[in-house]
Chains A and B, each alone.
Chain A
Amino acid sequence: MSKNRVVILLALLILAGGILFLIYEKKSYMQRVAQIKQERAEIEKIATLKSLWGAKGMQKKLHILFKRVPTANQERLKIERNKADIKIHSLNEKQINYLLTKLAMLPVSFKKLNITRSGSSFTLEALCVW
């Protein structure tokens, strides 16, 4: 084989190597980036959900909310670090509306929620966790 052919063949081999290397790296980059994007999106979503449903300072917020309810009506009010067990009776229509609206606006999980009426007063019973 002539020297010229060998030179061209070697150059072609380098070119082919370069093309294959580029294709491989580009493909693996695309796959990796897609995977990384998915992982990042997952982590960010978890972080958002966690900060929403595992919000800090909930104990304090609930204490402030139930401070407005007369102690005589508080049949049961246990507000702990990550849960609250509530039973409040003799609430008028305005009070029950206020409490229920405020509770629903807080990022707490309702495990139990009961409202019963006797005459013109209401009883609210709830178990919330966060």
Chain B
Amino acid sequence: MSFFNSKNSLLLLHKSLEGVKKAARYDLVLSPQFYIVKRETVPVKYSFQAKKLAPSIMDDMLPADYGYEYVVKKDGDSWLFFAYAPKEIEEFLQNCCNIPPHRIGKIYFADQLKEVLQKLPVGINNDYALTLVDGFATIVPRSMLQSEKYAKFTPKLRPKHSVNFKQTSKFDKESKLEKTTAIVAALLFLLGVFFFIDGFGYKRAADKEEAKLNTLYEEYPQLQSKLVRESIKEKYENIEKRQRSIRQLLDSFSQLTSKKTLIDRLELKPKSISGRFLIDPAEKKRVMSVATGADLKVKEVNPAIVEVEGELK
């Protein structure tokens, strides 16, 4: 495969064609089996004018309305009128070589090989050859020719001037459908690939997070087990809760004291802290108010002594 050869594969199209090498696109040299040619001298200067005359000039030569396409070429003082049927060519290539119409590129006519054919006939197969008869390219049996030498048809014989092949609308539609299918399939495929790549991205991101966690586990290997983690967490959370509560209650108790209100006893119990305060009766209202505000239980032992208790959380 060459990435630099922009020319399509060149085929000499004849009815006994077989064993075509696979290629992306084909240019065709039509043998006289696939076109009709007529030389005519018409008083026109330009090829577009000649082309307009082509249907009427060739009308009596064409067997049926087969959707002919016309090509004109100036040859000395006269014009060469070519007529070919794209449908016939498309059907033949599809049946003989499984070549779809959209793979057909440019076409040439065997009459354009005149210079080669004047020197040597071109062999088509073991039985037939392409040669000039009355100045026109014709396929004849080899047995009718005197020549012992035959030129081989190679891409080097490619004529100078090509004609764009006119696809029939039916095959054109199929070709367009095939192209559209290819584009849609490629888009769907790309979208699918994009989703796969995106999915792998999530997989990689999850692996990254996992790696970060593993680094943390390396730092605290004993915390790898969920049970151990929960047990340690519970232990420290209980300590945190109880000790913060103790400190809050000690702070509340300290707010009860003043120059006239003295602490007499303080005790940390399993679920509470209790304290006994010696108070001045004048301070009783303040002590009560502070204790209630701090959610402490106050019990009056006598007018000068109160017992206060705060529950631990």
Contacts and interface: CB of A to CB of B under 8 A. Distances in A.
B220 A49 contact: no
Interface stretch (B71-79, B109-117, B208-216): B208-216
A59 to B, nearest CB: 18
Nearest to A5: B181
A113 B310 CA distance: 14
Given A42-B229, A104-B247, A53 B239 contact: yes
Nearest to A49: B236
B192 A11 contact: yes
B239 A28 contact: no
Contacts of B200: 25
Contacts of A55: none
B232 interface: yes
Contact of B236 (A33, A43, A53): A53
Interface stretch (B27-35, B59-67, B88-96, B260-268): B260-268
B206 A15 contact: no
The interface residues of chain A, by DSSP majority, are classed as: helix
Contacts of B243: 53, 107-110
Contact of A46 (B210, B229, B247, B262): B229
A98 interface: no
A128 to B, nearest CB: 10
Interface residues of B, number: 51
B145 interface: no
B195 A18 contact: yes
Contact of A4 (B181, B189, B237, B268): B181
B195 A49 contact: no
A96 to B, nearest CB: 9
Contacts of A32: 206, 209-210
A45 B262 CA distance: 40
B177 interface: yes
B237 to A, nearest CB: 7
B233 A45 contact: yes
Nearest to B228: A46
A43 to B, nearest CB: 5
A22 B198 contact: yes
B205 interface: yes
B85 to A, nearest CB: 26
Interface string B233-272: 1001101101100110011000000000011111110000
B182 interface: yes
Nearest to B189: A11
B188 interface: yes
B181 A29 contact: no
A40 interface: yes
B213 A40 contact: yes
Contacts of B178: 4
B188 A12 contact: yes
Interface string A37-78: 001101101110110110000000000000000000000000
A16 B185 CA distance: 13
A14 B189 contact: yes
B188 A49 contact: no
A12 B184 CA distance: 10
A18 B210 contact: no
B36 to A, nearest CB: 35
Interface string A1-24: 000100110111011111101101
Interface of B: 177-178, 181-182, 184-186, 188-189, 191-196, 198-200, 202-203, 205-206, 209-210, 212-213, 216-217, 220, 223, 229, 232-233, 236-237, 239-240, 242-243, 246-247, 250-251, 262-268, 273
6 contacts: A4-B181, A8-B181, A8-B188, A14-B192, A28-B202, A110-B268
Given A14-B189, A18-B193, A22-B198, 11 more contacts: A8-B185, A17-B192, A21-B195, A22-B195, A36-B210, A40-B216, A42-B223, A43-B220, A53-B243, A104-B250, A117-B265
Closest 8 A/B residue pairs (Cβ): A18-B195, A49-B236, A18-B192, A11-B188, A14-B192, A113-B268, A15-B192, A11-B185
